Amino acid sequence: MLESEEKNYMKTAELIERSGLTRQIIYEYMSFGLLIEAKRTEAGHRLFDERSVTEAKLIHQLSESGYTLRAIREIFVEGKGRKKADETRLPKSDS
């Protein structure tokens, strides 16, 4: 990976700092499949993008609101393959 490409990404330490979460929480979200690195360096370091910061904060807010990590995973990961809500609504009847 070129150095210029790495500037668009952050290592785990920066994700931790920018999200305001602890290393333990970030690694828990990664191990549960909720946060996935965007790329890896040639040395194997995880690289995250700006979206990861937003996702980490949102996952934490949902968790603090009482959602289990399993429920959050269903919303984020398993829900990505589902149709949009608009596509699953029944057609309006004319009666």
User: Which domains does the chain show, CATH number per domain?
Assistant: 3-72 (1.10.1660.10)
3-class secondary structure, 40:
strand
> pLDDT band at 8, cuts 50/70/90?
confident
H or E element at residue 31: helix 23-31
3-class secondary structure, 79:
helix
pLDDT digits 0-9 by tens, 21-62: 999 999 999 999 999 999 999 999 999 999 999 999 999 999
pLDDT for residue 75: 85
pLDDT for residue 92: 44
Helices (H) and strands (E) in the chain, counts: 6, 3
- pTM for this predicted structure: 0.73
Nearest to 56 by CA among 85, 78, 24: 24
Share of the chain above pLDDT 90, in %: 68
Asked if pLDDT for residue 90 goes beyond 80, the answer is no
